[in-house]
Amino acid sequence: MDLKIDSASLSPYRNFTRTEWASLRADTPQTLKSDEIARLQGLNDRLSIAEVEEIYLPLSRLLSIYVGATQKLFRAMEKFLGPERDGKMPYIIGVAGSVAVGKSTTSRVLQALLARWPNTPKVALITTDGFLLPNAVLEREGLMQRKGFPESYDLPALLHFLTDIKAGHHPVRAPLYSHFHYDVMPNETTEVDRPDILIVEGLNVLQTSRPPKDGKGIPFVSDFFDFKIYIDADESILERWYVERFMRLRETAFRDPGAYFHRYSNITDAEADATARAIWRGINLANLRENILPTRQRADLILRKGGDHQVEAVALRKL
């Protein structure tokens, strides 16, 4: 007997077109105004009301289901074990993807939408940039050309931060990173005080490593995540977005004499284009291929973007 197997049924994901995903918004209200949406988008991102309504409102509805289910489980465990002294743990959402793909915009939009649920939860957002090793350390270790690669982060500090968050400690402080200075700011921190939901955005937040042989360590940052999102786009599109962003920064932030990349404001357009592409291909593309893209299949949700910055397709991991 000839047995035919539908390969789609073997995928761990259920795939949606943009139209199919948009229909899942149902009656989720639009709580963001056009001027707020404009403030939430990144330097080179294009965020429209339609994008919020068709992509992020359905995602907000989905997350409300996941968070609600977690809260219900917490109450059931409380009934089973007795009340916990420290109360419930925050729900943590990880957002991963390449440089220039729009992680920051997605994270800010989600923060704004989730904070406006009817029960108005407290939603915090941090980026893992603050856990990069200081430039002085990177230079000493010969890692400046691998900034953003897994080895350029203070992983123990990041794991300690997430451990404290999950343990209900408060307040918990994370180091502060300055893109203007291109470095971690000494003695400056951002405070996270027992949020209901925490969004953690970064290049390598879904990165895996070899588990410790003694079984005592915590091997993955993503072990702390309750829901994982990966933002995806073709390499050629990502390179174009990176170059466009670089060229815009030349006309804005790089003009300031105090900016780390001020030297790039005085070169020609052709030189700037060549410089941006060299940085992309030598650092960011290598990091994408070696470390970031291989983590895509660890996500619970994949947002696939087209060249116009709009999400074209969505893949949701099956339960």
In 18-123, alpha helices (H):
18-22, 34-40, 49-51, 57-81, 103-114
How does DSSP classify residue 145? G
Q: Are 182 and 253 in contact (CB under 8 A)?
A: no
For 171, what's the count of Cα atoms within 13 Å in the CB-facing half-sphere? 8
Phi (first) and psi of residue 153, to 5 degrees: -105, 150
CB distance 228 to 94 below 8 Å = yes
The encoded tokens of residue 81 equal 């074990």
The two tokens of residue 144 are 């400046």
- Other residues' Cβ atoms within 10 Å of the Cβ of residue 34: 9
Calpha distance 127→214 (Å, rounded): 30
pLDDT in tens, 210-243: 555 666 666 689 999 999 999 999 999 999 999 9
Name which of 53-57, 103-107, 186-190, 206-210 the model is least confident about: 206-210
Mean pLDDT value of segment 284-313: 96
DSSP letter (8 states) at residue 153: B
85 pLDDT band, cuts 50/70/90, is: low
Other residues' Cβ atoms within 10 Å of the Cβ of residue 301:
19
Give every CB contact of residue 182 below 8 A, 6+ residues apart in sequence: 135, 260, 261
Q: What per-residue confidence (pLDDT) applies to 15? A: 97
| pTM of the full structure | 0.93
Paired tokens of 154: 């203070």
CA distance 315 to 319: 13
Res 23 pLDDT > 60: yes
Among 134, 140, 178, smallest CA distance to 153 is for 134
Q: Is the pLDDT of residue 4 over 60?
A: no
Structural domains in the chain, sorted by start: 11-208+216-317 (3.40.50.300)
pLDDT of residue 180: 94
DSSP state of 149: S
What lies within 8 Å, CB to CB, of 169 at 6+ separation is none
CB atoms within 10 A of CB 285: 18
Q: How many residues does the chain have?
A: 319
pLDDT (mean) for 31-36: 91
Q: Indicate if the alpha-carbon torsion angle 39, 45, 48, 51 is positive or negative.
A: negative
* Cα 19 off chain centre by: 24
In whole angstroms, what is the distance from residue 228 CA to residue 63 CA? 11
Beta bridge mates, 190: 174
Q: What is the CA radius of gyration of the chain?
A: 21
pLDDT tens per residue, range 304-319: 999 999 999 999 999 8
- Per-residue pLDDT tens for 39-52? 998 777 889 999 99
